[in-house]
């Protein structure tokens, strides 16, 4: 009975969201697709009762979460939500200070060309080490600071660190390889990333091919036109651009021919062996092999990430993916360790100044 009432009410509301507008004497219908979000809290249970102000605040918190969820419009409050909010506030309010205190460090994960076993590049990955020594990993804090918009501040910090690092290695006459940096989806709304990067190139005067920008597959799918503007902007400066996490979301094969991407990074999901049935593993391998083949024909370089074993690495080389990144070769390492790594390993990059 309850469900029926809810369904009817929702249907009525959705029906009324086909807004009718009159534009230049013509009637137009705007399908507004409104989403109704509700938060619910229980005021009184067997052993507990809460006051009205707390009830409203709890329900409001549940409503906010419903708003952020794609497939939920009604969320029931529970106490773990308070813990989540506390953590979010702790992270977002302390971010700028943490950057100033030097708690954020850029780590580097080498990319290897397997037929020559040379290092051809590295990916810059952020690490947050709290004063007590323990690490907080990006998956824990990046979604939160993306929501607050502070990801721009953090990414700009990473970009500057990487430019400064490359500039120093070049001025010390030491070998260096191109470094890729991640671009958050929030930058899509703020195209000022382009002038910021331009100012870094002007300040540090590093060769443009030393920098690669990784944009995730979902960024390209969500807003293809803006993504194209970003790619063109990076290319105009001479930098390279890759499509990160390829294959992790919806298919974007058609985008590959439309967007001038230099590199695709195949997501580690293709290599996941544990808990995957044998015939699905085989399917993944067929897909990965076709994608690598297609990339070659489109003259796009392909790189596989998440390579953890020699067997995976050999298989990928066999099907034509010679550029690989993963724990098998090296975990992301601190800048000092990365310098030792590239000082002692064969590098494949002719630095043309």
Give residues in contact with ligand C2E (CB under 6 A): 109, 125-126, 137-139, 142, 151, 155, 158, 182, 184, 244-245, 268, 305-308, 326-327, 332
Tokens linked to 136: 């907080």
Residue closer to Ca ion, measured from CB, 217 or 322: 217
- Rounded least distance, CB 197 to ligand C2E, Å: 14
Helix (H) or strand (E) holding 19: strand 18-23
Selected from 155, 212, 214, 322, the binder of Ca ion by CB under 5 A is 214
Q: Tokens 């708690």 map to which residue?
A: 103
Angle at 180 between CA 177 and CA 185, to 5 degrees: 175
| Cα separation, 310 vs 316, whole angstroms | 10
Residue closer to Ca ion, measured from CB, 176 or 264: 264
- Could you tell which of ligand C2E, Ca ion, none binds residue 161, using a CB distance below 5 to 8 A set by kind? none
Q: Which stretch binds Ca ion (CB under 5 A): 12-20, 126-134, 182-190, 230-238?
A: 182-190
- Rounded least distance, CB 220 to ligand C2E, Å: 14
Q: Which of 302, 311, 283, 326 is nearest to 122 (CA)?
A: 326
| Cα separation, 188 vs 229, whole angstroms | 9
- Rounded least distance, CB 21 to ligand C2E, Å: 39
- Rounded least distance, CB 264 to Ca ion, Å: 11
Residue closer to ligand C2E, measured from CB, 200 or 307: 307
Does 245 help bind Ca ion (rule: CB under 5 A)? Answer: yes
- Rounded least distance, CB 140 to ligand C2E, Å: 9
- Could you tell which of ligand C2E, Ca ion, none binds residue 187, using a CB distance below 5 to 8 A set by kind? none
Does 330 help bind Ca ion (rule: CB under 5 A)? Answer: no
Q: Which of 344, 247, 340 is nearest to 292 (CA)?
A: 247
Core vs surface per residue 148-184: b (16+ CB within 10 A) or e: eebbbebbbbbbbbbbebbbebbeeeeebbbbbbbbb
- Rounded least distance, CB 141 to Ca ion, Å: 16
Contact 70/88 with Cβ under 8 angstroms?
no
- Could you tell which of Ca ion, ligand C2E, none binds residue 339, using a CB distance below 5 to 8 A set by kind? none
Helix (H) or strand (E) holding 242: strand 240-246
Please give the radius of gyration of the chain, using alpha carbons only, rounded to the nearest integer: 24
| Cα separation, 80 vs 83, whole angstroms | 5
Residue closer to Ca ion, measured from CB, 244 or 322: 244
Residue closer to Ca ion, measured from CB, 123 or 322: 123
Residue 104 pairs with which residues in a beta bridge?
128
- Rounded least distance, CB 166 to ligand C2E, Å: 16
- Rounded least distance, CB 314 to Ca ion, Å: 22
| Total residues at interface with Ca ion (CB under 5 A) | 4
Residue closer to ligand C2E, measured from CB, 61 or 323: 323
Does 244 help bind Ca ion (rule: CB under 5 A)? Answer: yes
| Cα separation, 279 vs 50, whole angstroms | 53
What are the φ and ψ backbone dihedral angles of 108, each rounded to 5 degrees?
-130, 130
Residue closer to ligand C2E, measured from CB, 151 or 243: 151
End-to-end CA distance of the chain: 74
Does 182 help bind Ca ion (rule: CB under 5 A)? Answer: yes
- Could you tell which of Ca ion, ligand C2E, none binds residue 308, using a CB distance below 5 to 8 A set by kind? ligand C2E
Tokens linked to 92: 């977002």
Q: Are strands 135-136 and 179-183 parallel, antiparallel or unpaired?
A: unpaired
- Rounded least distance, CB 67 to ligand C2E, Å: 23
Residue closer to Ca ion, measured from CB, 75 or 197: 197
Q: Interface with Ca ion by CB under 5 A: which residues? A: 182, 214, 244-245
């Amino acid at each position: 009975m309850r469900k029926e009432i809810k369904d009817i009410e929702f249907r009525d509301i959705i029906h009324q969201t086909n807004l009718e507008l009159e534009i230049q004497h013509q009637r137009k219908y705007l399908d507004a697709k409104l989403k109704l979000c509700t938060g619910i809290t229980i005021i009184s249970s067997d052993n507990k009762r809460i006051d009205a102000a707390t009830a409203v605040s709890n329900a409001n918190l549940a409503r906010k979460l419903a708003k952020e969820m794609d497939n939920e419009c009604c969320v029931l409050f529970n106490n773990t939500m308070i813990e989540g909010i506390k953590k979010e506030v702790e992270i977002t309010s302390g971010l700028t200070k943490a950057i100033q205190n030097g708690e954020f460090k850029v780590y580097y994960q080498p990319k290897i060309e397997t037929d020559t076993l040379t290092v051809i590049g590295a990916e810059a990955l952020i690490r947050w080490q709290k004063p007590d020594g323990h690490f907080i990993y990006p998956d824990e804090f990046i979604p939160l600071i993306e929501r607050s918009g502070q990801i721009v501040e953090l990414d700009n910090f990473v970009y500057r660190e990487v430019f400064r690092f490359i500039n120093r290695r070049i001025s010390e006459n030491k070998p260096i390889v191109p470094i890729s940096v991640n671009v958050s989806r929030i930058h899509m709304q703020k195209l000022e990333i382009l002038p910021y990067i331009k100012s870094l190139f002007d300040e540090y005067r590093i060769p443009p091919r030393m920098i690669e920008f990784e944009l995730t597959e979902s960024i390209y799918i969500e807003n293809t036109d803006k993504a194209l503007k970003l790619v063109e902007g990076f290319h105009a400066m001479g930098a390279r651009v890759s499509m990160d996490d390829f294959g992790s979301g919806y298919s974007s094969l058609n985008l590959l021919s439309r967007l001038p991407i230099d590199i695709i990074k195949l997501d580690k999901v293709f290599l996941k062996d544990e808990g995957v049935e044998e015939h699905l593993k085989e399917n993944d391998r067929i897909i990965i092999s076709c994608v690598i083949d297609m990339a070659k024909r489109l003259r796009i370089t392909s790189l596989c990430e998440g390579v953890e074993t020699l067997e995976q690495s050999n298989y990928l080389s066999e099907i034509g993916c010679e550029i690989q990144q993963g724990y098998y070769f090296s975990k992301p390492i601190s800048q000092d360790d990365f310098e030792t790594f590239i000082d002692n390993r064969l590098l494949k990059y002719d630095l043309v100044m």
